[in-house]
């Protein structure tokens, strides 16, 4: 393939079949793009063009209808995620690919430190070390220490999204997928989230992100792919 590339899609399409109604619903169609290490590729376009479906195909929440998703693994191999086994996908999610949605999902009553440390615990890292790394990261993102042992379920939208990003960042992923990371945030929280995204880029992670705000695209994106409505 090409140097510095983390991800490359070729003609990726996703459609949904409503069997009971015998309807075919096209979503993302024939999308080809690249994501490079330390760069952010922005997905833009009107609602209904399949941006979120496209990200979910890459994360393999959805199986694509057509096309290929070539991912450059940490072992130096190119793997087509559209054809990879469930075991391979789960391993990549565990160690190399992170996905941040608009909403933080975590177990009830789980402390913020434990939420952020969980990806490291899943890799087999000792609890004390994992929590120490989580605390260091929470300090870096300027989340008040008084909140660390509290469940993030009680937090504001901006605080939850910072925790959401921190949980993804602690892995130092090679590929980070972002679905509207600043949606519904207050004006104070948006700059902090932007700062976190910049930090991830600087660390060498390749980022594929959905944005509706064109100002954020100008501020953060190195490349822009505009998805167009399907007929």
* pLDDT tens-digit series, residues 205-231: 999 999 888 888 999 999 999 988 765
Residue 230's pLDDT is 66
**Domain membership flag for residue 145:** no
When the pLDDT of each residue in the chain is averaged and rounded to a whole number, the result is 89
**Domain membership flag for residue 217:** yes
**Domain membership flag for residue 17:** yes
Pairs from 193-202 (Cβ < 8 Å, separation ≥ 24): 193/158, 193/161, 193/162, 193/165, 194/219, 194/220, 196/141, 196/162, 196/165, 196/166, 196/169, 197/40, 197/165, 199/140, 199/169, 200/165, 200/169, 200/176, 201/38, 201/39, 201/40, 202/38
Residue 1's pLDDT is 46
For the whole model, what pTM was predicted? 0.89
Residue 180: give its domain's CATH number. 3.40.50.300
Mean pLDDT, range 90-112, rounded to an integer: 86
**Domain membership flag for residue 200:** yes
> Does the structure show a pLDDT above 90 at 157?
no
CA distance 103 to 224: 24
| Residue numbers of the domain that contains 28 | 5-104+172-226
**Domain membership flag for residue 122:** no
Please give the share of the chain, as a percent, with pLDDT higher than 70. 94
Higher pLDDT, 105 or 81: 81
Pairs from 210-215 (Cβ < 8 Å, separation ≥ 24): 210/42, 210/43, 210/44, 210/51, 210/52, 210/55, 210/178, 210/179, 210/180, 211/42, 211/43, 211/44, 211/180, 211/182, 212/44, 212/180, 212/183, 213/182, 214/44
**Domain membership flag for residue 133:** no
Residue 3's pLDDT is 65
* pLDDT tens-digit series, residues 20-57: 666 767 788 889 999 999 999 999 988 888 899 999 99
**Domain membership flag for residue 132:** no
Higher pLDDT, 186 or 194: 194
**Domain membership flag for residue 130:** no
- Count of the separate structural domains present in the chain: 1
What 3-state class would DSSP assign to 58? helix
């Amino acid at each position: 393939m090409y140097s510095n590339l983390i991800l490359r899609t070729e003609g990726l399409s996703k459609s949904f079949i409503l069997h009971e109604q015998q309807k075919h619903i096209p979503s993302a169609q024939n999308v080809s793009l690249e994501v490079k290490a330390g760069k952010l590729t922005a997905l833009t376009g009107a609602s209904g063009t399949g941006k979120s479906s496209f990200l979910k195909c890459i994360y393999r929440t959805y199986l694509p209808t057509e096309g290929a998703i070539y991912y450059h693994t940490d072992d130096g191999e190119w793997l087509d995620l559209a054809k990879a086994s469930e075991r391979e996908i789960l391993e990549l999610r565990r160690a190399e690919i992170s996905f941040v949605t608009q909403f933080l999902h975590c177990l009830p009553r789980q402390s913020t430190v434990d939420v952020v440390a969980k990806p490291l615990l899943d890799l087999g890292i000792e609890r004390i070390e994992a929590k120490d790394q989580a605390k260091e990261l929470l300090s870096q993102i300027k989340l008040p220490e008084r909140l660390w042992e509290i469940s993030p379920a009680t937090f504001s939208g901006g605080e939850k999204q910072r925790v959401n990003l921190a949980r993804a960042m602690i892995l130092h992923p090679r590929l980070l997928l972002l679905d509207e990371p600043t949606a519904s945030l207050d004006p104070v929280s948006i700059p902090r989230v932007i700062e976190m995204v910049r930090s991830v880029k600087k660390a060498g992670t390749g980022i594929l992100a959905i944005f509706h705000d064109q100002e954020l695209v100008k501020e953060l994106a190195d490349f822009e792919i505009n998805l167009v409505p399907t007929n």
